[in-house]
Chains A and B, each alone.
Chain A
Amino acid sequence: KNQVEQSPQSLIILEGKNCTLQCNYTVSPFSNLRWYKQDTGRGPVSLTIMTFSENTKSNGRYTATLDADTKQSSLHITASQLSDSASYICVVSKRQGGSEKLVFGKGMKLTVNP
């Protein structure tokens, strides 16, 4: 079983609509949670990083939430644009020795149609 589970696996929405992506994790010990955006054939680009004490963090039209008690996170995209079409990956950083190890979800594919 993956330590980072994302839902839905894919989503199609119309331009201008909002959407919310979900992430559940079991990674322990927890260091931080990150959301990445990955365009097809490109490397992932960081959207947000949240530590244990942060409940919400925004980056433009992206707002991430974290509930460390229930080990859940969400990424809300407001007023979607065609350029939001990409894979969105939830990544949980695990404390390991003196360093962090990134544990990736499988990602979810968002398609924004005109």
Chain B
Amino acid sequence: DTGVSQNPRHKITKRGQNVTFRCDPISEHNRLYWYRQTLGQGPEFLTYFQNEAQLEKSRLLSDRFSAERPKGSFSTLEIQRTEQGDSAMYLCASSLVRENTEAFFGQGTRLTVV
């Protein structure tokens, strides 16, 4: 499978716990994006990387959220001290560094904080 891969697909955690999600983009894609999607809404931008550099972070990304892409390949999104409001689908997408190029999405990680 050469698409964008996200793990785990589902995560249930207790409030206050830390969670980490992983995204493996399409191998030649330089750009990697993280989005959050709640029920009935479109995806909301969280952050994006070009290679290993994190170029933009949304205000949605509070200090409890951190994302890394250490070698410019896979990326991790960590949420510390989870809250019930963090329950959402976390989507990763990747694309080439080229104008008007398609962004490919992974299947997402569904987080439920209980």
Binding site for B on A (CB under 8 A): 4, 31-32, 34, 36, 41-46, 49, 51, 89, 91, 93, 96, 99-107
Residues of chain A with a CB closer than 8 A to B74's CB? none
> Which label, helix, strand, loop or mixed, suits the secondary structure of the A interface?
strand
Interface centre among A93, A100, A103 (most CB of B within 10 A): A100
The residue that A43 contacts in the complex, of B44, B50, B108, with Cβ under 8 A, is B108
Given A99-B55, A100-B99, A45 contacting B41 (CB threshold 8 A): no
Which residues in chain B, 32-46, are within 8 Å of chain A measured between CB atoms?
33, 35, 40-45
Contact B33–A102 (Cβ < 8 Å): yes
Taking a contact as CB atoms under 8 Å apart, the answer to whether B103 and A51 are in contact is: no
Please tell me if the beta carbons of B104 and A99 are within 8 angstroms of each other in the complex.
no
7 nearest A-B pairs in the assembled complex, by CB-CB distance: A43-B105, A104-B42, A106-B42, A32-B100, A107-B42, A44-B105, A43-B107
Query: Residue on B with the closest CB to A104?
Result: B42
Listed in ascending order, the chain B residues whose CB lies under 8 Å from chain A are: 4, 6, 31, 33, 35, 40-45, 48, 50, 55-56, 89, 91, 93, 97, 99-100, 102-108, 110
Instruction: Specify which of B45, B97, B110 is in contact with A102 (CB 8 Å cutoff).
Output: B45
Q: Are B50 and A44 in contact (CB under 8 A)?
A: no
Is there contact, CB below 8 Å, between B110 and A41? Answer: yes
Name the residue of chain A whose CB is nearest to the CB of B103: A102
A-B contact pairs, 13 of them (CB 8 A): A32-B100, A41-B110, A42-B108, A44-B43, A49-B100, A51-B100, A93-B100, A100-B99, A103-B45, A104-B43, A104-B44, A106-B40, A106-B42
Find out whether the CB atom of A99 lies under 8 angstroms from the CB atom of B50: yes
Cβ-defined partner of A46 (8 Å) among B40, B55, B103, B107:
B103
Q: When A31-B99, A99-B55, A100-B99 are in contact, do A106 and B105 touch as well, CB less than 8 Å?
A: no
